[in-house]
Amino acid sequence: MMMTMIGSNKAFLMSTTAAATATAMNTFELFNSKPNVIEKKLNRASVSYDAPKRKLPVLLFDVMDTIVRDPFYQDIPAFFGMPMKELLECKHPTAWIEFEKGLIDEDELARKFFIDGREFDLEGLKDCIRSGYSYLDGMQELLQALRDDNFEIHAFTNYPIWYEMIEDKLKLSAYLSWTFCSCNTGKRKPDPEFYLEVVEHLGVEPCECVFIDDRPSNVKCAVEIGMRGLCFENADSLLKDLSQLGVNVSLPNI
C-alpha cells in the first residue's frame, strides 16, 4: 500500500514539473521569439480596426477671382486715381511678385511699388483692398456643400501675407485650409515645382487632386504634372464640371 502511494506521488510530482516546465517554455517562446512569431501569437486574440479612408479627390482652389473677388483690377487703380494702363506703366515690374513670394515685406513693397519711388498711403491702400474682398456669387455655398460632404479642400494661391486680411473678413478657413500660399513657399503658379511640392506635401498622386483656377496657364501646368484641372468661370459651371469628375454635391438654388 505504501509503495503504491509513493508511486502515485512520484507520478504526480513528475506531471506537475512537466506542466510547469512547459508553461515556462511557452512564456520564454512568446517573449523571445522572432517578431513575426510573436505577431502571429498575439494576432489570434486581437481585433483589427480599419483606419478611416481618406476621401478623394483632394480639392485645390485658387482664391482670387475663383473664390474671392480680386480688388486689383478696379479698386486699386481707382485708389491711385489712374486707369489700369497707366498704373501698370508706373508700378515696379517685379515688386508685387516679390511680395507674393514673401521675398519682401509690405514696407519694402511701399518703397518699391512705383518706379519713381513716390510715396503713398499704404494703410489707405490696404483698407481699399480689404473693402473690395467678397465671395463670388455662389462660391461660399459651394464650399459649404463640399465641406459638409467631407471633401479635403486646400487653398493653392499666389498671394502675399495679405491673405490674412481675406481670412479676417471672409473666414475662408471655415471651408478650407490656407495650406499653399506663395508667400509661404517662395514659389508661384505656374511654376511646376510649386505643384510638385503640393503633391508631395499631401502624400497623394497627382491624379488624386482636382485643381480649380481662373487662369488657363495655371490649369495647364496642373494637367501637365498629372492633376485634373478645371478652369473656373462661375459657381454654376464649376458645379457641373465637378460632377463630371465624380464630385457630386447637392446645392439647391445656385
Q: Rounded to an integer, what distance in angstroms lies between the CA atom of residue 200 and that of residue 206? A: 9
Q: What is the mean pLDDT of the chain?
A: 85
Indicate the pairing of strand 58-61 with strand 177-181.
Answer: unpaired
Residues 6+ apart with CB under 8 A from 31: 38
Indicate the pairing of strand 177-181 with strand 228-231.
Answer: unpaired
User: Which phi and psi angles does 212 have, rounded to 5°?
Assistant: -120, 125
- Range 133-146 average pLDDT: 97
Burial class (CB in 10 A: 0-12, 13-18, 19+), 161: middle
More confident residue, 26 or 111: 111
More confident residue, 152 or 30: 152
Fill in the DSSP letter of residue 233.
-
Strand extents, DSSP E, 83-231: 153-157, 177-181, 209-213, 228-231
Indicate the helix (H) or strand (E) that contains 89. helix 84-90
Q: Rounded to an integer, what distance in angstroms lies between the CA atom of residue 156 and that of residue 160? A: 12
Residues above pLDDT 70, as percent of the chain: 78
Task: Please state the domain extents for the chain.
Answer: 58-68+134-245, 72-132
Residues 6+ apart with CB under 8 A from 50: none
Q: Rounded to an integer, what distance in angstroms lies between the CA atom of residue 10 and that of residue 68? A: 90
Instruction: Give residue-wise pLDDT tens across range 48-58.
Output: 445 468 899 99
Sequence letter at residue 29: E
Instruction: Give residue-wise pLDDT tens across range 75-131.
Output: 999 999 999 999 999 999 999 999 999 999 999 999 999 999 999 999 999 999 999
pLDDT confidence bin for 252, thresholds 50/70/90: low
User: Which phi and psi angles does 209 have, rounded to 5°?
Assistant: -120, 145
23: cell is: 508553461
Instruction: Give residue-wise pLDDT tens across range 164-201.
Output: 999 999 999 999 999 999 999 999 999 999 999 999 99
| CATH number belonging to domain 58-68+134-245 | 3.40.50.1000
What does the pLDDT read at residue 28?
36
- CB atoms near residue 42 (< 10 Å): 10
What does the pLDDT read at residue 247?
96
What does the pLDDT read at residue 250?
80
What does the pLDDT read at residue 48?
41
- CB atoms near residue 160 (< 10 Å): 21
More confident residue, 17 or 175: 175
Residue 238 has pLDDT above 50, yes or no: yes
Contact assessment for residue 191 and residue 200, using Cβ atoms and an 8 Å cutoff: no
Contact assessment for residue 245 and residue 212, using Cβ atoms and an 8 Å cutoff: no
Fill in the DSSP letter of residue 55.
P
Burial class (CB in 10 A: 0-12, 13-18, 19+), 250: exposed
What does the pLDDT read at residue 25?
42
